[in-house]
Amino acid sequence: MDFRGKDIISIKDFSKETINYILDYAQDLVPYAKGEKYKDILNGKVLSSLFFEPSTRTRLSFESSMNRLGGKVIGFSNPAATSQMKGESLADTIRMADSYSDVIVIRHSQEGAARLAAEFADVPVINAGDGAGRHPTQCLLDLFTIKSEKKKIGKNKIVLLGDLKYGRTVHSLSYALSVYKAELSFVSPTSLKMPREVIDECRELGVEPTQTSNLEKAIKDADVLYVTRIQKERFPDAEEYNKVVDSYKINIELLQNAKDDLIIMHPLPRVTEIDPEVDKTPHALYFKQAFNGVPVRMALLSLVLGGKL
């Protein structure tokens, strides 16, 4: 498969065959992600890391991926320190990054910003999250985590919990899990239900998600519980946020009725939705999931830059 020069904007741009290929390649890269092996296949390549929104995992794991493959990183994580503050447009910022580097990774608060960036860049653009839109690299690392732990992606009952309205990770993941025909259950406060267009995408792929606010019942026979944070920053009205904050919490008591091999995932950051006491249980997969961002992003960078192992 030839990925050289390709943009990565939405998981919907990938076939199941392509996703499987990326996940298999990421598996080969795990020893390199852990620093147990080293090969500078991206020597001489430069990544522009343009983070207009806060990030810990996505930004650092992209930087780690580039460094571990011998490449270099330029960029910013604080747009207030860039010429955007002087009124420079996103298009012009992208034109500059395009001329200084070989690949651009962008996170932005505006849905569609990554696709716009791709129109102004000749080098490949990777979407690191665009507002409440999509987060394709998170989706791939989520699929990688499920496959690594469950040995399969389809034929699992997967509960997506939390802010399903604004959560870009669950939008991308619902689509991708439907490609694999997983059984989906959406659990959220009524005001944060999964958008209709995402449910329609699942249906078009032959999957009919169930929707409920009864978490206890939903997790009883679940194989995967994917928890998300209620994202204060996405609410146009603070009062609406206050109505739903703390509407669910994963704790040891709740897990008494869950299957022994239930895995709990979370894109992180978490705030109060998972009790830290859950971290010590075998259910907690979220920190390993965050590590999986490194082999998956190594695979993507290596493929779009044509420096395959």
Q: Which residues bind ligand CP (CB under 6 A)?
A: 55-58, 129, 138, 267-269
Residues taking part in catalysis = 57-58, 86, 107, 135
Give me the least distance between CB of 268 and ligand CP, in Å please: 5
Closest to 93 measured CA to CA, from 67, 64, 66, 116: 116
Give me the least distance between CB of 42 and ligand CP, in Å please: 21
Give me the least distance between CB of 56 and ligand CP, in Å please: 4
CB 277 within 8 A of CB 251: yes
Burial class (CB in 10 A: 0-12, 13-18, 19+), 211: middle
Give me the least distance between CB of 109 and ligand CP, in Å please: 12
Q: Which is nearer to ligand CP, 183 or 273 (CB)?
A: 273
Q: Which is nearer to ligand CP, 57 or 181 (CB)?
A: 57
Q: Which is nearer to ligand CP, 230 or 258 (CB)?
A: 230
Give the span between the Cα atoms of 112 and 10, in whole angstroms. 10
Closest to 185 measured CA to CA, from 221, 134, 143: 221
Give the span between the Cα atoms of 46 and 165, in whole angstroms. 35
Q: Which is nearer to ligand CP, 50 or 258 (CB)?
A: 50
Closest to 198 measured CA to CA, from 152, 165, 244: 165
